[in-house]
């Protein structure tokens, strides 16, 4: 049982360190390189600001998005100001 606890603790630690590193990279890209929508491996995170995407998404929901060259009917798209 102790080994499972140690393994789980190490796993959670690795995940937390990875999340902290990814957030650090995104912060640097945003504030040092002045990227409007910083991405990591082609994916960006945005927050829904209005109710225009309901009922699929509500205001305050966080979305992970990926920019594409073309889109097909029925796909959900996001856009900024």
pLDDT digits (tens, 9 = 90+) for 20-55: 999 999 999 999 999 888 999 999 999 999 998 899
Cα–Cα distance between 19 and 76 in angstroms, integer? 26
What's the pTM value of the predicted model, to 2 decimals? Answer: 0.69
Contact 58, 51 (CB under 8 A): yes
Contact 44, 68 (CB under 8 A): no
The number of residues making up the chain comes to 81
Handedness of CA 17, 22, 23, 27 (dihedral sign): positive
pLDDT digits (tens, 9 = 90+) for 3-22: 999 999 999 999 999 999 99
């Amino acid at each position: 049982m102790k080994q499972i606890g140690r393994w789980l603790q190490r796993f959670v630690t690795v995940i937390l360190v990875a999340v902290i590193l990814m957030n650090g990279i995104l912060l640097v890209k945003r504030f040092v390189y002045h990227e409007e929508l910083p991405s990591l491996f082609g994916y960006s995170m945005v927050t829904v600001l209005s109710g225009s995407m309901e009922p699929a998404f509500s205001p305050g929901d966080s979305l992970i998005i990926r920019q594409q060259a073309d889109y097909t009917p029925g796909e959900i798209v996001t856009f900024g100001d």
